[in-house]
Structure 1
């Protein structure tokens, strides 16, 4: 057995290799479990620190639980809850197979990816002449991999912590100009928000909070929305200039609130602009995103 390990196991039978690999997988599993626990602990600590630094603006509101729950899910790399939001199914436009696959990948993201990386590195470098340097090579690689995971978590936490500030700045301006929005414009905005949530295929807490604030501002009594974007899209050309500008402003800010402003959300925003007879201003979109990430009031 010792000679086989020193010279490589290519000449050993599967049964002869079995004790070695069984021991290796047990040790790798334990190390990965400890590593995962540390990553989660470190992520929760980092998210809590971000929350304190940001001074979450919802601490005394009815929506505080929404934000706290969202921040915790970010730290633990958990997906958004699989339930309707004000009658909206965020995953209505996602195939069942994709929804199931996404759920599985979320659970595998941290732990299994780290475990697989460890096994692959052992298999690759274990067959090389320099396999004695394996610990020196894989150690930094594991550290880099874990740093990437932690960076992604902190990035998401930052977006989620600063999003409510952007929403509050937006709502202050909107409420001061609310009399200029007719019932049609308000319906278009609400259905546009619902469509954006479905296009994003995620119930991001920032989107949920913005939708809730809009429902409050518009004094909507029925909180179960039956989204019909195609029908309301046709009403965009009936809005006056001020109403159109508010639709574009709200949809633009909403697009960057989840941090995922490319792909389907961006195509939806472009669709809204085209329906309004306007051109999507990429620089303005980038500016809105930068303002949110810096915690500055939209200009």
Structure 2
């Protein structure tokens, strides 16, 4: 019988898949609702902080706490200059109210968007792996596939719940890697370069899926895709990954894009998550 979170997801037009437990989804949604950062501890041999210095982590956490206070300060300064001290003095205590309301609205939108991504993620992972791993892979290709996910996590500097799900299910299907350098981007690119075209394609499909599972495709993500594209015989993949991200964020099935080898002329999406 479907769990509580599966029933809620289906009522919203989404499908979690039978393997997704209430506990997994509840934990991911709770972190999204409370705006808790994704865990930064290494998982399954992958360290999200591999390329991040300690001072940067401190700076990022402090910046978030300052943004509302800084917005209020700037708004008060602008009003004081525009209207004069006498007028502003009586209204100054209320200036922070609409600013806080705007921030709260922005945060609510962000939380709801993130919650939707976390609900859709497990189903998207299963759909992508059914395509990418439809044919048996050689040991070298299996190694490259696991490294594709690990490298994405390192480049994104975070272990999003969808990335953890992808990492766990890739390793469940192809075997757990004991390599100490599983999350080394340079080793991944060398492994990809050594693959024949037939085996490079499923690895690129897994890489593309990993790059969009958090709903983002940043310049850093694009640089990784371009580096992979330069080593594998597939042209113009970066723009196609942007298309894949849009399909995923909209709740459309990503199977059509993956099976179309990341082209904009891919067939229509197979369904919704």
How far off its partner does 1:167 sit? Answer: 0.9
1:155 has 2:113 as partner? yes
Change (3 A) 1:55 1:120: same
Distance (Å, rounded) in 1 between the aligned partners of 2:187 and 2:107: 42
**Which residue of structure 2 lines up, in the alignment, with residue 215 of structure 1?**
171
Distance (Å, rounded) in 2 between the aligned partners of 1:52 and 1:100: 40
1:281 has 2:237 as partner? yes
How far off its partner does 1:77 sit? Answer: 1.3
* Higher helix proportion: 1
How far off its partner does 1:289 sit? Answer: 1.0
Normalised TM-score (structure 1): 0.70
Stretches of structure 1 that go unaligned for 5 or more consecutive residues are 1-47
1:256 has 2:212 as partner? yes
**Which residue of structure 2 lines up, in the alignment, with residue 143 of structure 1?**
101
Change (3 A) 1:82 1:237: closer
Specify the SS of the correspondent of 2:215.
Answer: coil
Aligned partner of 1:87 among 32, 35, 45: 45
Stretches of structure 2 that go unaligned for 5 or more consecutive residues are 1-6, 257-273
**Which residue of structure 2 lines up, in the alignment, with residue 165 of structure 1?**
123
1:130 has 2:84 as partner? no
CA RMSD of aligned residues (A): 3.0
1:97 has 2:48 as partner? no
Q: Is the contact made by 1:86 and 1:223 (CA closer than 8 Å) also made in structure 2? A: no
Q: Is the contact made by 2:16 and 2:122 (CA closer than 8 Å) also made in structure 1? A: yes
Larger radius of gyration: 1
Superposition pairs of residues 1-299 of structure 1, within 5 angstroms: 53=12, 55=14, 57=16, 61=20, 64-106=22-64, 108=65, 113-118=67-72, 121-122=75-76, 125=79, 128-131=85-88, 132-134=90-92, 139-175=97-133, 177-179=134-136, 181-220=137-176, 222=178, 226-298=182-254, 299=256
Change (3 A) 1:218 1:153: same
Say how many residue pairs are matched.
Answer: 245
Distance (Å, rounded) in 2 between the aligned partners of 1:246 and 1:281: 13
Normalised TM-score (structure 2): 0.76
How far off its partner does 1:82 sit? Answer: 2.6
Change (3 A) 1:231 1:92: closer
Distance (Å, rounded) in 2 between the aligned partners of 1:283 and 1:291: 13
Distance (Å, rounded) in 2 between the aligned partners of 1:275 and 1:65: 40
Q: Is the contact made by 1:86 and 1:225 (CA closer than 8 Å) also made in structure 2? A: no
1:250-285 CA-partner distances (Å, limit 9, x unpaired)? 111110111221122221111111111333334421
Change (3 A) 1:167 1:236: same
